[in-house]
Amino acid sequence: MSIVIVGGNDRMATRYQDICKSFHIKSKVFTQMPADFENKIGFPDLMVVFTGTCSHKMLSGVKKRSEKHGIPVEHIHSSSVSALKQLLTNYA
């Protein structure tokens, strides 16, 4: 399984990836908007959006990609480690 995490804190990006590794999930983390964002997302099995720390432009890119390719999106208001762990236990 692979996921893309959009939003969150810059300092927590490696922590998010470590949590995903502990669940045996490949992950990409985008805390800021890179150039050509929609193409860098790829084709994950799930996209997680931390809505409290995500820009509107990034959110619209996620929506376009998910609608175009049928990728499920989960919205989490908090960008905490425990919220991510709880979400991954539901999916794993």
Report pLDDT digits (tens) over 14-65: 999 999 999 999 999 999 999 999 899 999 999 999 998 888 999 999 999 9
CATH: 3.30.70.1050, 3.30.365.10, 2.130.10.10, 3.40.50.10050. Which one for 2-91? 3.40.50.10050
Cα gap 79→7, rounded to integer Å: 8
pLDDT band at 91 (very low <50, low <70, confident <90, very high): confident
C-alpha closest to that of 80 among 4, 1, 3, 7:
7
Query: Are 30 and 58 a contacting pair, CB within 8 Å?
Result: yes
pLDDT confidence of residue 82: 94
> Does residue 57 sit in helix, strand or coil?
helix
Q: Which two tokens stand for residue 67?
A: 């609608």
Pseudo-torsion of CA 63, 65, 87, 85, nearest 10°? -120
